[in-house]
Amino acid sequence: MLRGRLLHVKHFEVGKIGEGYAARHLEKMGYSVLERNFKRPWGELDIVARKSGEWVFIEVKTLRAMTSDQALRQARGLRPEDQMSYHKLSRYRKAILLYLREKKIPRDATWRADVIAVEVDAAGHLFDLRHIEGIALE
Protein backbone atom coordinates (compact mmCIF):
# COMPACT_ATOMS: atom_id res chain seq x y z
CA MET A 1 0.00 0.00 0.00
CA LEU A 2 2.71 2.46 -1.02
CA ARG A 3 0.22 4.72 -2.78
CA GLY A 4 -1.31 6.01 0.43
CA ARG A 5 2.04 6.30 2.17
CA LEU A 6 3.38 9.24 0.16
CA LEU A 7 0.03 11.00 0.00
CA HIS A 8 0.22 11.42 3.77
CA VAL A 9 3.89 12.28 4.23
CA LYS A 10 4.82 15.80 5.17
CA HIS A 11 5.72 18.37 2.54
CA PHE A 12 9.28 18.37 3.93
CA GLU A 13 9.66 14.63 3.22
CA VAL A 14 8.41 14.98 -0.37
CA GLY A 15 10.98 17.75 -0.82
CA LYS A 16 13.77 15.53 0.49
CA ILE A 17 12.78 12.80 -1.96
CA GLY A 18 13.00 15.35 -4.80
CA GLU A 19 16.37 16.63 -3.60
CA GLY A 20 17.73 13.10 -3.68
CA TYR A 21 16.63 12.64 -7.29
CA ALA A 22 18.06 16.06 -8.19
CA ALA A 23 21.45 15.30 -6.61
CA ARG A 24 21.70 11.99 -8.46
CA HIS A 25 20.76 13.72 -11.72
CA LEU A 26 23.48 16.33 -11.22
CA GLU A 27 26.12 13.72 -10.49
CA LYS A 28 25.15 11.79 -13.63
CA MET A 29 25.53 15.03 -15.62
CA GLY A 30 29.07 15.57 -14.34
CA TYR A 31 28.41 18.05 -11.52
CA SER A 32 30.19 17.77 -8.18
CA VAL A 33 27.62 18.17 -5.42
CA LEU A 34 29.46 20.10 -2.70
CA GLU A 35 26.76 20.86 -0.19
CA ARG A 36 23.09 20.27 0.48
CA ASN A 37 20.70 22.31 2.60
CA PHE A 38 22.79 25.38 3.37
CA LYS A 39 20.37 27.12 5.75
CA ARG A 40 20.22 30.60 7.13
CA PRO A 41 17.29 32.41 8.83
CA TRP A 42 16.26 34.18 5.61
CA GLY A 43 16.85 31.44 3.07
CA GLU A 44 18.19 28.07 2.08
CA LEU A 45 20.20 26.66 -0.80
CA ASP A 46 19.03 23.15 -1.60
CA ILE A 47 22.14 22.08 -3.51
CA VAL A 48 25.48 23.76 -4.15
CA ALA A 49 27.45 22.17 -6.96
CA ARG A 50 30.30 22.85 -9.37
CA LYS A 51 30.85 21.96 -12.97
CA SER A 52 33.67 23.12 -15.23
CA GLY A 53 34.81 25.67 -12.64
CA GLU A 54 31.38 27.28 -12.34
CA TRP A 55 29.47 27.46 -9.06
CA VAL A 56 25.89 26.31 -9.47
CA PHE A 57 23.17 26.94 -6.90
CA ILE A 58 20.17 24.67 -7.39
CA GLU A 59 16.70 25.19 -6.00
CA VAL A 60 14.75 21.94 -6.07
CA LYS A 61 10.97 22.13 -6.39
CA THR A 62 9.09 18.88 -5.93
CA LEU A 63 5.43 18.01 -6.44
CA ARG A 64 3.49 14.79 -6.33
CA ALA A 65 2.07 14.05 -9.76
CA MET A 66 -1.61 13.40 -9.13
CA THR A 67 -2.24 12.59 -12.77
CA SER A 68 -0.11 10.99 -15.45
CA ASP A 69 -1.24 13.57 -18.02
CA GLN A 70 1.58 16.12 -18.06
CA ALA A 71 -0.30 18.50 -20.38
CA LEU A 72 -3.26 18.56 -17.98
CA ARG A 73 -1.00 19.25 -14.99
CA GLN A 74 0.76 22.07 -16.80
CA ALA A 75 -2.52 23.59 -18.02
CA ARG A 76 -3.68 23.73 -14.40
CA GLY A 77 -0.42 25.43 -13.37
CA LEU A 78 0.82 22.44 -11.44
CA ARG A 79 4.45 22.59 -12.48
CA PRO A 80 6.97 22.59 -9.63
CA GLU A 81 9.03 25.37 -11.17
CA ASP A 82 6.01 27.70 -11.07
CA GLN A 83 6.44 27.88 -7.30
CA MET A 84 9.37 30.31 -7.74
CA SER A 85 7.73 33.61 -6.71
CA TYR A 86 9.43 37.01 -6.81
CA HIS A 87 9.82 36.85 -3.02
CA LYS A 88 11.39 33.37 -3.21
CA LEU A 89 13.81 34.49 -5.95
CA SER A 90 14.86 37.51 -3.91
CA ARG A 91 15.54 35.37 -0.83
CA TYR A 92 17.37 32.84 -2.96
CA ARG A 93 19.67 35.52 -4.36
CA LYS A 94 20.46 36.75 -0.82
CA ALA A 95 21.28 33.20 0.28
CA ILE A 96 23.61 32.73 -2.72
CA LEU A 97 25.45 36.00 -2.02
CA LEU A 98 25.81 35.07 1.64
CA TYR A 99 27.17 31.63 0.70
CA LEU A 100 29.75 33.20 -1.62
CA ARG A 101 30.81 35.63 1.12
CA GLU A 102 30.90 33.04 3.94
CA LYS A 103 32.91 30.57 1.88
CA LYS A 104 35.27 33.35 0.76
CA ILE A 105 34.68 32.61 -2.89
CA PRO A 106 36.32 35.33 -5.03
CA ARG A 107 34.00 38.07 -6.30
CA ASP A 108 34.96 37.32 -9.89
CA ALA A 109 33.96 33.64 -9.59
CA THR A 110 31.48 32.45 -12.17
CA TRP A 111 28.14 31.28 -10.80
CA ARG A 112 24.54 30.74 -11.80
CA ALA A 113 21.23 29.75 -10.27
CA ASP A 114 19.26 26.76 -11.57
CA VAL A 115 15.97 25.11 -10.73
CA ILE A 116 15.37 21.39 -10.86
CA ALA A 117 11.68 20.58 -11.05
CA VAL A 118 10.88 17.09 -9.81
CA GLU A 119 7.58 15.26 -9.96
CA VAL A 120 7.13 12.00 -8.11
CA ASP A 121 4.26 9.55 -8.16
CA ALA A 122 2.30 8.55 -5.07
CA ALA A 123 4.88 5.89 -4.20
CA GLY A 124 7.77 8.36 -4.34
CA HIS A 125 9.12 7.13 -7.67
CA LEU A 126 10.48 9.64 -10.13
CA PHE A 127 7.84 10.66 -12.64
CA ASP A 128 9.50 13.65 -14.31
CA LEU A 129 12.60 15.82 -13.80
CA ARG A 130 13.44 19.06 -15.57
CA HIS A 131 16.72 20.96 -15.09
CA ILE A 132 16.28 24.65 -15.87
CA GLU A 133 19.66 26.35 -16.10
CA GLY A 134 20.44 29.99 -15.49
CA ILE A 135 17.25 31.40 -14.00
CA ALA A 136 16.97 35.18 -13.56
CA LEU A 137 17.03 36.21 -9.93
CA GLU A 138 15.83 39.79 -10.42
Find out whether 128 and 11 touch, Cβ atoms under 8 Å: no
Residue type, 19: E
Flag whether pLDDT at 87 surpasses 50. yes
Find out whether 120 and 65 touch, Cβ atoms under 8 Å: yes
Any alpha helices (H) in 29-119, and if so which ranges? 70-75, 86-102
pTM: 0.81
The C-alpha atoms of residue 81 and residue 100 are separated, in whole angstroms, by 24
Domains of the chain: 2-132 (3.40.1350.10)
The C-alpha atoms of residue 87 and residue 38 are separated, in whole angstroms, by 18
Q: What is the pLDDT of residues 9-29, one digit of tens each?
A: 455 578 899 999 999 999 999
